[in-house]
Structure 1
Amino acid sequence: MSELEKLIEQVLEKNSPHKEFEGSKEILIEALSIYHEELCSQNDELSEINQYLEETKLEYERLFMDAPVGYLIVDLTGLIVKANHYSYQLFDSLTPHQSKLQHFIADEDQDRFYFFFQQLKEDQLETSFSFKTRTEPVRYIKFLQQYVRSNETLIHLAMIDETALVTYQKQIKYMSNHDALTGVYNRHYYENLIQQLNEKLTKHFGVIFADINGLKMINDAFGHMFGDELIKKAVELIEHHMDDTMYLARIGGDEFVIILTETTEEQMKKLMLTLKEAQSLITVKDIQLSISFGYAYKRKPSQDLIKLVHLAEDRMYQNKLHTKSSGRKDIIEGILAVLHEKKPREKEHGERVSFLAETFGKVLNLNATEIHQLKTAGLLHDIGKVTVDHTILDKASGLNTNEKREMKQHPEMGYRILQASQEFKDIADIVLYHHEFYDGTGYPRGLKGESIPYLSRILAVCDAYDAMTKPRPYSIPKSKEEASTELKYHKGRQFDAELVDIFISKVLLKVDLN
């Protein structure tokens, strides 16, 4: 008992007039005054503490509500007692507050969620779980952590949106098995599939190898975007004739494999024939799709599928050799058609140069092979211009540095296109060097004098004469006499002097290109 309490007790219980209590009241009043001041001071401190606690509560409330993570407080039935703003965003148009958490989980994940929630209630959750929502669009929600306030028996949950991560993971998984350009299976998937099928299938199994002819030539002529378009057309063709028992994989730039898991040899042959016939109807611009095929069929259960695949590949290459010549010739004719469609005057120019070159070859008493080469080179000498931007070909004013550089690439591009075909290989060099100058200042190699192939020197004179005497965006056509004077002026510099003299004195007497 404190001294103040003792004194109060004495005063109350011994209301005596004796002198020993005369000062007790004064002492009591003084003591009460001191305690009053102390209580007031404590009250002020408590008010400040209450204010601080209230402000802290509001700060944590704001942190809870505005956090970039979903926070929920749920009871043991799954009822959402409290949800922050981000939770509403995660659940889209649905309203979390006073709703059952189970209501937001997709039907396919309900069983998993039930067991997850049982672990939550028993406080035995050791790992986080992800679930799909039933919202539109579907989200993937991951429950990160939980703790239980035992006095209220409430479960606190933190959630993050894993939609972007799940989508990315799906893309990575998809890309690991699929070709980025066409969407069909890639080589990685194909190799794994063959291994799996080798262990499972014993019969009714076939493989068709397919290879797009002339793809490199097409890429050189038009660029890879054009070649990619042709690849996609080939895939569309094959997929159109496939069923659910077949697999299609792109195993190289221009190579595809069709795996048939339930087929007869006759059915496989029929499919291959159908694809061969159908490809003739598919073109990109004027380039017709051309594919070589080869197949192999498993006749005995003991046959190894890997060896079977190699057999189909070998047969495909054998077939490719038989069709290579005509196929590439068709592609070159298609490329030339694209150039002529792009610039109709190039067709007439090529025909005139071809006629001039053939006539020149006869005047020079060249053999039949060389004359044929000159005639063909005249037709195809500018095929490389198919890669040049049409605005450069049509430009009436002088070309700038970059435009000149692009224009000067056309002999090399023509060479690359023609070199890819066995039928035109012998004229590729003629085309490559037809813009070399006799004094070594030409392009693309800067060859000089007789190091320039003879047929290229002949073609250069014919090409220049026709260019001077016919309308061009950048020049007014010259007369035969004016063009002859120009050729003479450049003798020994741009042209072989002896060839210029023969061309003017003999060839021009035999031709009339008006």
Structure 2
Amino acid sequence: MAYHDHLTGLYNRLFFEETYANMLVSGNQYPIGILIGDINGLKMYNDTYGHLKGDEAMCNLIARLKEHLEPRHLLARIGGDEFAIIMPKASESEVRTMVYHLEEVLDAEKEGQPLNDLGISFGYSMQRHPQDPLDRLFKEAEAFMYHRKYFSSRSFRSRAIQAIMETLFSKSDRERKHSERVSHISERIAKAMKLDPDTVDKIRVAGLLHDIGKIGVDETLLNKPDKLDREEWEMVKLHSSKGANILSNTMEFHEMAHWIIAHHERVDGQGYPNHLAKEQIPLASRIIAVADAYEAMTTPKPYREALTGDEAVEELLKGAGSHWDAGVVHIFVHEVYKSLH
């Protein structure tokens, strides 16, 4: 009978439950602390870097976790991103101290590189009597864990988004300048359209994050001096969907995920990835699309010269109503463009 998890090498849930049952029978292990740990941000990590990298990061985290446990502690993987620890003959004070200690040291060890390693949120419960059922102890520990996870995950995910952007910008300075410029122009258009300040600020941030999905694009393609071939272009086109997947993992950026996935849609339905048309495309996406197009046209590429501002405006006007939203183009041309120079 298999008692080990094939990926991490840890004991599995079956072994965990059998060991726990044997401790109850022995009667000399009380009180028993049950710790439940859930990995923070694993889905985002997998969406960003792929499942192989996610598995590697998880195994690295488990290796570090084991360094802080005693031989008498049993660590097991009981679910996809969930782990459990049995602490026999431990007071509640000892168990609680272990919870805070593990979170603190694991977080400190990844200081300054939040995406190179993952963190864990823990909860615990205490087994004081043989009649306490394991499923109830699990529920108690999980409830405590999810309560603590809620308050830690938002800051973790915000740091994670920032780290992703910093990684992308380190891969390509051209991407950094492009994103900053698109953010600025998008904000100016939103203000000119007299959108409320909160929406304007969200559009500014979305403009900065609009190409976050390019973190999953090969660096050689981002910096390629020649024009992309058809196969390479199809790979790059996936960035809007990848970006939406990354942002949809966060409460604070969830709305922007819908904007990011649609910023390459066209009002005539000929864009990508979902061939949305007209008002099916979120207004924020239509704004970012115009800012993105203008910035791209006026930035030189190794294989072509930049258009002048007036030439780019002419192209936007030609595509108004087919490629880009005519109203957004009108606002940009008549209320934003001249103030950019």
Q: Check whether the contact 1:208–1:312 (CA below 8 A) recurs between aligned residues.
A: yes
Aligned to 1:188: 14
| Distance in 2 separating the partners of 1:473 and 1:245 | 62
Q: What is the CA–CA distance in structure 1 between the aligned matches of 2:39 and 2:279, rounded to whole Å?
A: 40
What are the Cα deviations for residues 259-307 of structure 1, in whole angstroms up to 9, with x where unaligned?
Answer: 1123222222222112111122344965152321101122445433442
Which of 314, 322, 337 is 1:493 aligned to? Answer: 322
For 1:437 and 1:367, the matched residues in 2 are separated by 25
**Cross-structure match for 2:226:** 397
Residues 449-460 of structure 1: pairs in structure 2 closer than 5 A: 449-460=278-289
User: 1:322: Cα distance to partner?
Assistant: 2.3
Distance 1:312 1:389, change over 3 A: same
Who is 1:340 aligned against? 169
Distance change >3 Å, CA 302–CA 447, structure 1 → 2: closer
Pairing partner for 2:93 from 260, 266, 270: 266
SS in 1 for 2:304: coil
Q: What's the CA shift for 1:309?
A: 2.8
> What TM-score results when the alignment is normalised by the length of structure 2?
0.93
CA offsets 1:49-96 (integer angstroms, 9 cap, x no match)? xxxxxxxxxxxxxxxxxxxxxxxxxxxxxxxxxxxxxxxxxxxxxxxx
1:222-274: CA deviation from partner (whole Å, max 9, x where unpaired) = 10122112211220221010111101111122111111123222222222112
List aligned pairs for 1:22-421, cutoff 5 A: 176-201=2-27, 203-283=30-110, 287=115, 289-300=118-129, 302-421=131-250
Aligned equivalents of 2:131 and 2:17: distance in 1? 20
Structure 1 residue aligned with 2:274: 445
Give identity over the alignment, percent.
39
CA distance in 2, matches of 1:282, 1:341: 23
AA matched with 1:392: L
- Cα separation, 2, equivalents of 1:247 and 1:417: 34
Report the 3-state secondary structure (helix = DSSP H, G, I; strand = E; otherwise coil) of the residue aligned with 1:352: helix
Q: Supply the distance in 2 between the matched residues of 1:407 and 1:285 (Cα, whole angstroms).
A: 26
Structure 1 residue 466 corresponds to structure 2 residue 295: yes
Deviation at 1:463, TM superposition (A): 0.8
What CA distance in whole angstroms lies between the structure 2 residues aligned with 1:345 and 1:207? 50
Aligned twin of 1:145: none
Post-superposition Cα deviations, 1:407-465, rounded to whole Å, max 9, x if no partner, equal 11111111111111000011111111000012211100111222211111111000111
Shift of 1:473: 4.1
Query: Residues 263 and 412 from structure 1, CA distance in 2 versus in 1: closer, same or farther, beyond 3 angstroms?
Result: same
Return the alpha-carbon distance in structure 2 between the equivalents of residues 223 and 285 of structure 1: 18
Q: Are residues 1:506 and 2:332 paired?
A: no
* Structure 2 gaps, min length 5: none
Which structure has more relative contact order (CA 8 Å, sep 6+)? It is 2
Question: What is the DSSP-based 3-state SS (H/G/I as helix, E as strand, rest coil) of the residue aligned with 1:281?
Answer: helix
* TM-score normalized by the length of structure 1: 0.63
Q: CA 1:468 to 1:311, structure 2 compared with 1: closer, same or farther past 3 Å?
A: same
- How many pairs were matched up? 338
Alpha carbons 2:65, 2:106 under 8 Å: kept: no
Is residue 286–residue 338 contact of structure 1 (8 Å, CA) maintained in 2? no
Of the structure 1 ranges 193-202 and 246-255, higher mean CA displacement relative to structure 2 is found in: 193-202
- CA apart distance, 1:403: 1.8
Q: Does the C-alpha gap of structure 1 residues 399 and 264 become closer, same or farther in structure 2, counting only changes over 3 Å?
A: same
- CA distance in structure 1 between the aligned counterparts of 2:246 and 2:168, rounded to whole angstroms: 13
Task: Select the residue among 475, 482, 503 that pairs with 2:311.
Answer: 482
SS of the residue 1:185 aligns to: coil
Distance 1:451 1:482 in 2: 29
User: Residue type matched to 2:106 in 1?
Assistant: Q
1:366-423: CA deviations, max 9, x gaps?
1122212211110111111111111222223333333222111111111111111000
Distance 2:302 2:22 in 1: 63
Q: Which has the larger radius of gyration?
A: 1
For residues 301 and 495 of structure 1, the distance between their equivalents in structure 2, rounded to whole angstroms, comes to 68
